Amino acid sequence: MPRPRSEKARQAVMSAMRRALAEDSYAAVTIEGLATEAGVSKQTIYRWWPSKAAVLGEALLEGELPGSDAVVPTTDDLAADLRAWFAGVSAGQGDMVGIEVARALIAVTATDPELGLVLNERLAAPIREWVKTRLRQAVADGDVREDVDADVVADHFIATASYAALLGQPLSEQRVDAVVQMVMRGIGARD
């Protein structure tokens, strides 16, 4: 029977992972480095987690995901609100933590698909909710067709922002304008 986790040691490993990710790339994080930083043995880490991706996944589930707290004020201009959302998300894509988290989410999903789904849903849920709320308002205002699927629009936003994060390149104002124009053409109310 495996020994129960020491909560103090577990929290030390979680903190070590967050610090390591903030200071370096996910690729540079090692189990040995995490063990040293957390003051535990490598065997302790391997007893509780099968890989560094699993450690990262748990650390992300318990901590704040970069970009998940973005707040975009709603105006009466849908296109402006969409641009503001992209600008808010894009601002975090210039820092290494946001870039490394995006890249690490891919690694977690590749090594532990169930954990990857949970993490990706946690990141996507607030985005989907914001898009649904904003599009409901736009439908009521007559700016968006009633048959528009808000989840599809949200997925498009998530995919665009995720790809930029993976590349480590914030979306330029021109790119944001082009994406918003394309979305508006696709969802706008027909005259």
Predicted confidence (pLDDT) per residue in 49-70, tens digit: 888 888 888 888 887 555 555 5
The rounded distance, in Å, linking the Cα atoms of 179 and 160 is 9
- Rounded CA-CA distance 177/4 in Å is 53
Please indicate whether residue 97 or residue 75 has the higher confidence score (pLDDT): 75
Q: Mean pLDDT, to the nearest integer, of 119-130?
A: 83
128 in Cβ contact with 151 (< 8 Å): yes
Query: Stretch 94-120: mean pLDDT, rounded?
Result: 76
Whether residue 7 has pLDDT greater than 60: yes
What would the mean pLDDT of 31-55 be, rounded to a whole number? 92
How is residue 39 annotated by DSSP? T
Which segment of 68-72, 77-81, 89-93, 157-161 scores lowest on mean pLDDT?
Answer: 68-72
Please tell me the pTM assigned to this model: 0.72
